[in-house]
Amino acid sequence: MKLFKNALSLIIISILLLHNIEISAYASPNANSQNQVKIAVFLSNFNSPFISSLKKDLEAVEKENKNRVLFTFFDSKGNETIQNQNIDESFNQNFNLFVVDLVNSSTNFSQNALSKIFNHNIPLIVTLIPSNPIINYIRTYNRAVIIGADDAQSGSLQGKILTDTWNSNKEILDRNKDNVMQYIMLKGPIGDPSTPLRSKYCIQTLNDAGIKTEELLSSTCNWNKDCARDDIQSSLLNLYSRIEVIISNNDAMAIGAIEALQKYGFNKGGNSRCIPVVGVDAIPESRKLIDQGFMTGTVIQNTRAYADAIHSVGLNLISGAQPLSHTNYEFDGTGPIIKLPFHEYIKKQ
């Protein structure tokens, strides 16, 4: 009888153990899904080369952190109303973090969108550095961080590239021999705070280096390649003998300028018929043009660095930890702003 009881006990224990193992096997995936964080990413325009690159790098971060982070992307198509609608429709989707690339950071649309996020108490990362009024508004919310780049530095680096190019090839580049660099400035959107900073600090760097400058034309092309191509084509017809340099606030417009120049026989290699063109972003197409000797230089804005910062800081915000905990990032001293550095990109000698 005793042997029978012992045997029965062993059978019962075995059944219970097998049952627990089965439960654990089914419970593990649920546990993983509970630990996965869901992040909504509201991008200004998927068609922007920089934004497209950032999206790809965020997708790479997700792939490297499978079952731990899930990004959902929303395309605002360059439209503030669409961005606000996307944000409104996301409040009931249980996202742990909102990442917002504002379509336009200088309007009431932006503040209204952010205020809704504040009211829902959702952790927030704003990418790229918005206008000062929006920065001041974001400071009032203790669950928000701004991750952007130092646009003054990007302009300064453009100025450095042009300074080196001008000083090395002045006899060829100073076409009218007046000792003044005549230039066209291709600008981003009027409401984008990077536009005046990139423009101002490029020219200031040139002037600080002792180079006199004269603006022949300022064209607002809103980061658009086709607009830049058309405007430069028109300028070549009207200002052909005077254009010595083209400065672009981003690479897409710089590429448009190169297309226009090449149509008229410029920038196909060598210095004899070359108008220096500089941009910002170092997207693959511009790097290829620089390596071929058709474009003078650009400034690298590393989208993978952006993606890594969004991931690391975002996880801290979600968990309630200090935003910079266990990272190498620093705030710039004016608020919860992380500025990622730029680097110049020119043809290797």
User: 110 Cβ partners below 8 Å, 6+ apart?
Assistant: 80, 102, 103, 104, 130, 134
pLDDT at site 23 = 35
| Distance (Å, whole) CA 199 – CA 202 | 6
Q: Digits of tens for pLDDT over the chain (349 positions)? A: 444 445 445 444 444 444 443 333 333 333 344 589 999 999 999 998 889 999 999 999 999 999 999 999 999 999 999 999 999 999 999 999 999 999 987 667 788 899 999 999 999 999 988 878 888 999 999 999 999 988 999 999 999 999 999 999 999 999 999 999 999 999 999 878 899 999 999 999 999 999 999 999 999 999 999 999 999 999 999 898 899 999 999 999 999 999 999 999 999 987 668 999 999 999 999 999 999 999 999 999 889 999 999 999 999 999 999 999 999 999 998 889 999 989 999 998 7
Side-chain half-sphere of 52: how many Cα atoms within 13 Å? 9
First to last CA, the chain: 92
| Distance (Å, whole) CA 158 – CA 198 | 8
Q: Give the count of beta carbons closer than 10 Å to the beta carbon of residue 173.
A: 18
| Distance (Å, whole) CA 59 – CA 41 | 11
pLDDT at site 34 = 57
User: 216 Cβ partners below 8 Å, 6+ apart?
Assistant: 182, 183, 184, 235, 239, 242, 243
pLDDT at site 132 = 82
pLDDT at site 272 = 65
Mapping DSSP onto H, E and C, the string for the chain reads CHHHHHHHHHHHHHHHHHHHHHHHHHHHHHHHHHHCEEEEEEECCCCCHHHHHHHHHHHHHHHHCCCCEEEEEEECCCCHHHHHHHHHCCCCCCCCEEEECCCCCCCHHHHHHHHHHHHCCCCEEEECCCCHHHHHHHCCCCCEEEEEECHHHHHHHHHHHHHHHHHHHHHHHCCCCCCEEEEEEEECCCCCCHHHHHHHHHHHHHHHCCCEEEEEEEEECCCCHHHHHHHHHHHHHHHCCCCCEEEECCHHHHHHHHHHHHHCCCCCCCCCCCCCEECCECCHHHHHHHHCCCCCEEEECCHHHHHHHHHHHHHHHHHCCCCCCCCCCCCCCCCCEEEECCEEEECCC
pLDDT at site 20 = 45
| Distance (Å, whole) CA 322 – CA 329 | 12
pLDDT at site 333 = 82
| Distance (Å, whole) CA 1 – CA 187 | 94
CB 97 within 8 A of CB 70: no
pLDDT at site 271 = 64
